[in-house]
Amino acid sequence: MFRTIFNKELLDQILSPKFLIVSLLCLGLVPASLLLNYSNYQNVFHEYDASQKEAKNSTTVYREPSALSTFGIGLESVLPEKVTFSKYETDAKGIQAQTEVLSQINGKLDFVVIVSFLLGLLAVLYAGMMASGEKEAGTLKLMLANPTRRSTVIAAKFAGGFSVLMIPFAISVFVGTLLLLLEGFPLFEAGNLARILSLLALSVLYLSALFSLGLLISTWTHKTSLALLASFFVWIFLTFIIPKTSEPIAGLIRRVASEEVMKANRAQVRSQIEKEKGKALAPLMAKYLPNDGQGKWDWNAYTGARGPIAKEYEERLDQTLQKFDEDYERERSARRALSLNIARLSPASAYTQAALNFCHTGIADLENFSRSLQAHYIQLYQAVFKYSFQDTFSSDDGKNNRSMGGDSSPEGKIDYPKFRYAFPAYEDTLRATAPDVILLVLFNLIFFSAAYFSFTRYDVR
Amino acid sequence: MATSQPILKADDLSMRYEDGVLALDHLNLDVRPGEVYCLLGANGAGKTTTINLFLNFIPPTTGTCFINGIDVTKDPLEAKKYVAFVSENVMLYGNFTARQNLDFFAKLGGKTALAKNDYYQVMRRVSLQEKAFDQRVKNFSKGMRQKLGISIAIIKDAPAILLDEPTSGLDPKAATEFLEIMAELKNEGKAILMSTHDIFRAKEIGDRVGIMKEGRLVMERTRQELQYEDLVKIYIDYMKSEPLAIS
């Protein structure tokens, strides 16, 4: 009986005009987006490759773009291509995006966006008509007038309908991947194949959750028009409203100062300690670096004498700024985690977060990149920054201001540490995506079980 | 008139909906092999509810429906093996051809080993045009869809057939053709329960005619009795009569 209804569902859906529309959309959009994004990736990679030569012996580092951004751009476009470090400030444009990451993703058309938005909508609408459509056509009554279990009907309808949705999806992915291979995409390198297969499996899991949701809506309604309208609104709520409001809601629950306020506070703390240091060093400056136009400067004596006095202040400044940054990062991380968890109420968000992690353009990669930058900063500090100094003296009346900068590094060539950004390992990505995958499995179970029980009580009259 | 055991039997059947409306009030009726039972009544009289109860689409509040002696509520899957159904608006699967529709419902009804010719034969029997056999049903007229609906009932070859206002919306020619097929099925020994608004055709085809009002079977006449009575007058008199006391 299952097979009979499954085959009927398969044939009925394939013969319907909506199958043609879905097929054309998939075949048009998926390969085109893959080719376009791969071309963009190649351009960015060439720029990265060329800039690597400049990166030697400098405090500027470059981030290698991910080839898998071809499938999901995600945060690729907001993460900095290069980061220039200085002793107390880091110029990393785009790192600010760490706080409000959700609003930064899904900006450009790519495979993940196509699955999350377009195919997600089609899955809900497709399934939304399944029970109500049959009721409206009177075929459900005819079907159930036969010795057929309702549980068999709903299971076969799900399996048949979902298989039909997967046909254009599978073909478009196959065609797209084939075209990518012809363009030279490194499919079999660096674990890309495993990641793409994981992404596809995740997409199927997500689409089946939305298909089950559509089926549930269908078993709650008795008219196709109402089912379509309800499906559309539910889709808008899950795909736009929840993800877009999660950050403001998290912001209300956990208030975190803005990046600008944090920088201003940081600068104030730094200025205060620098001022204290300046005051402590003022006698040495006056002694060894007189500015009355009469005395002779003894730079070496000054740098030698300032060390023990400045050390206390510099250590305090390092510790204070480090604590300041750590506290701010902790608050920001907590808020980000809250916002991401709220967003996870939506299957679309759970899917996007997990899918982008498989593409190396998700939140796990952003955090990994941040950690890499922090580690590199420590290396740079030990090799470069700890030797440089800037002493500023300001008199109380503000009339006498002096600033002295220098380098106390040992003689010889500075050995700049090399920065090589390592993408998270596949196992790490799996760990990072596990909550989202579990959620998608749960969404599947909840929606399908609800649809199943709702259909067993569905009024077919 | 058939005299054997009833294939369809409603035993003290009542149905009260969740909103409190009493749709069926202690209905007793039976249909025997080779008998056509026509249920007449206004909208909301309980005709369709009776059919829905026989098909287990809704559970009765009290009473029992039997198909071929099987309690429909207790063993619906077994009971449904012995009944075919034709609804008022047979839309069917518009993207399928007539034969594909027939094939699907035949398989659901348990007929899994039918050949193409078996389907064609049934469609010929209901006078569906040959050219329509492999045409998509979405282009069919209501009459053609209704004929296909009967084909579905015929191909199941069940001993009982339930028809819910099957001639509604059909032109006179199509309705006459429809009744001819019903007569053939009756002669084959099928027990047919048909709800209808069509008093003339009920009188023409029915071996027994029951009039329902407010969920009750208020009158029942046999074909012989109706030879000497005016069914139209009886029907109108019942419809005009005072509302029944609520039981």
B118-143 pLDDT per residue, tens: 888 889 888 888 888 888 998 888 88
Inter-chain residue contact A4 with B107, CB threshold 8 Å: yes
Is B134 contained in some domain?
Answer: no
Q: Quote the minimal CA–CA distance from A6 to chain B in Å.
A: 11
Chain B hits for A137, Cβ within 8 Å: 91-94
Residue from the list A136, A138, A147 with its beta carbon closest to the beta carbon of B110: A147
Chain B hits for A136, Cβ within 8 Å: 91
Residue from the list B84, B89, B100 with its beta carbon closest to the beta carbon of A138: B89
Could you tell me which residues come within 8 angstroms of residue A454 by beta carbon, excluding any fewer than 6 positions away? Answer: A216, A219, A220
Residue from the list A12, A142, A148 with its beta carbon closest to the beta carbon of B87: A142
Q: Are A187 and A196 a contacting pair, CB within 8 Å?
A: yes
| The pLDDT of residue B195 is above 80 | yes
Tell how strand B216-222 and strand B70-71 pair up. Answer: unpaired
Could you tell me which residues come within 8 angstroms of residue B226 by beta carbon, excluding any fewer than 6 positions away? Answer: B203, B209
Please tell me the predicted confidence (pLDDT) of residue A215: 92
Could you tell me which residues come within 8 angstroms of residue B36 by beta carbon, excluding any fewer than 6 positions away? Answer: B182, B186, B192, B194, B205, B206, B207, B208
Residue from the list B81, B84, B87 with its beta carbon closest to the beta carbon of A141: B87
Q: Are B240 and B69 a contacting pair, CB within 8 Å?
A: no
Most A CBs within 10 Å, among B8, B81, B85, B108, to test the A interface:
B108
Say yes or no: B96 contacts chain A, CB-CB below 8 A: yes
Is A126 contained in some domain?
Answer: yes
In DSSP notation, A291-339 reads: -SSSSPP-HHHHHHHHHHHHHHHHHHHHHHHHHHHHHHHHHHHHHHHHH
Is B212 contained in some domain?
Answer: yes
Confidence of residue B1 (pLDDT cuts 50, 70, 90): very low
Say yes or no: A222 contacts chain B, CB-CB below 8 A: no
Distance CA B238, CA B219 (A): 9
Using only C-alpha atoms, chain B has a radius of gyration, in whole angstroms, of 18
Inter-chain residue contact A145 with B84, CB threshold 8 Å: yes
Chain B hits for A5, Cβ within 8 Å: 108
Chain A hits for B92, Cβ within 8 Å: 137-139, 142
How many structural domains is chain A composed of?
A: 1
Q: Are A337 and A249 a contacting pair, CB within 8 Å?
A: no
Range of the domain at B211: 8-92+157-240
3-class SS string, A230-266: HHHHHHHHHHHHHHHHHHHHHHHHCCCCCHHHHHHHH
Q: Are A72 and A112 a contacting pair, CB within 8 Å?
A: yes
Is B147 contained in some domain?
Answer: no
- As given in the structure block, the two tokens for residue A31 are 């390969």
CA angle B13, B14, B20 (to 5 degrees): 170
Average pLDDT over residues B197-209: 86
* H or E stretch at A379: helix A363-383
Chain B hits for A145, Cβ within 8 Å: 55, 80, 83-85, 162
Please tell me the predicted confidence (pLDDT) of residue A93: 43
Distance CA A239, CA A237 (A): 6
Distance CA A98, CA A88 (A): 19
Distance CA B40, CA B165 (A): 10
Please tell me the predicted confidence (pLDDT) of residue A152: 92
Range of the domain at A74: 2-253+434-456
Residue from the list A5, A138, A147 with its beta carbon closest to the beta carbon of B80: A147
Q: What is the ipTM of this complex?
A: 0.88
Residue from the list B52, B81, B85 with its beta carbon closest to the beta carbon of A142: B85
Is B120 contained in some domain?
Answer: no
| The pLDDT of residue B82 is above 60 | yes
Distance CA A383, CA A419 (A): 13
Interface of A with B in 7-26 (CB under 8 A): 8, 11-12, 15-16
Most B CBs within 10 Å, among A1, A141, A152, A458, to test the B interface:
A141
Is A200 contained in some domain?
Answer: yes
Inter-chain residue contact B55 with A145, CB threshold 8 Å: yes
Chain A hits for B94, Cβ within 8 Å: 137
Q: Are B6 and B25 a contacting pair, CB within 8 Å?
A: no
Q: Does residue B75 or residue A418 have the better pLDDT?
A: B75
Residue from the list B52, B95, B108 with its beta carbon closest to the beta carbon of A146: B108
**Closest to A148 measured CA to CA, from B156, B87, B61:** B156
Say yes or no: A103 contacts chain B, CB-CB below 8 A: no
Average pLDDT over residues B3-30: 86
Calculate the CA A8 to chain-centre distance.
41
Chain A hits for B89, Cβ within 8 Å: 138
* H or E stretch at A372: helix A363-383
- As given in the structure block, the two tokens for residue B94 are 């518009």
Q: Is A5 left (phi over 0), alpha (psi -120 to 50) or beta?
A: alpha
Query: How far, CA to CA in Å, does A243 sit from each of A72, A349, A350, A363?
Result: 17, 6, 10, 14
Is A269 contained in some domain?
Answer: no
Is B100 contained in some domain?
Answer: no
Q: What's the whole-model pTM score? A: 0.84
Q: Quote the minimal CA–CA distance from A13 to chain B in Å.
A: 9
Chain A hits for B53, Cβ within 8 Å: none
Is A133 contained in some domain?
Answer: yes
Q: Are B87 and B70 a contacting pair, CB within 8 Å?
A: no
Tell how strand B36-41 and strand B208-213 pair up. Answer: parallel
The number of C-beta contacts closer than 8 angstroms across A and B is 76
| Full pLDDT tens readout for chain A, 461 residues | 889 999 998 898 898 888 899 899 999 999 999 999 999 899 988 888 888 776 666 778 888 888 898 998 888 877 777 787 777 766 544 444 455 555 666 667 889 999 999 999 999 988 888 888 888 888 888 899 999 899 999 999 999 999 999 999 999 999 999 999 999 888 888 788 999 999 999 999 999 999 999 999 988 888 888 888 888 998 899 888 888 888 888 888 888 888 788 888 888 888 888 888 888 888 887 788 777 667 677 777 877 788 788 888 888 888 888 888 788 888 888 888 888 888 888 999 899 989 999 998 888 888 888 888 888 888 887 777 777 777 777 766 666 777 777 776 666 667 777 877 788 889 988 998 999 999 999 999 999 999 998 888 877 77
Say yes or no: B97 contacts chain A, CB-CB below 8 A: no
Handedness of CA A66, A68, A69, A70 (dihedral sign): positive
Say yes or no: B109 contacts chain A, CB-CB below 8 A: yes
**Closest to A451 measured CA to CA, from A221, A229, A160:** A221
CATH code where residue B225 lies: 3.40.50.300
Distance CA B138, CA B96 (A): 8
Is A61 contained in some domain?
Answer: yes
Interface of B with A in 68-87 (CB under 8 A): 76-78, 80-81, 83-85, 87
Which residue is closest to B109 within chain A, CA to CA?
A146
How far the first Cα of chain A sits from its last, in Å, is 22
Distance CA A411, CA A3 (A): 81
Is B114 contained in some domain?
Answer: no
Residue from the list B81, B105, B110 with its beta carbon closest to the beta carbon of A142: B105
Distance CA B106, CA B192 (A): 19
Chain B hits for A143, Cβ within 8 Å: 105, 108
* H or E stretch at A171: helix A150-182
How many structural domains is chain B composed of?
A: 1
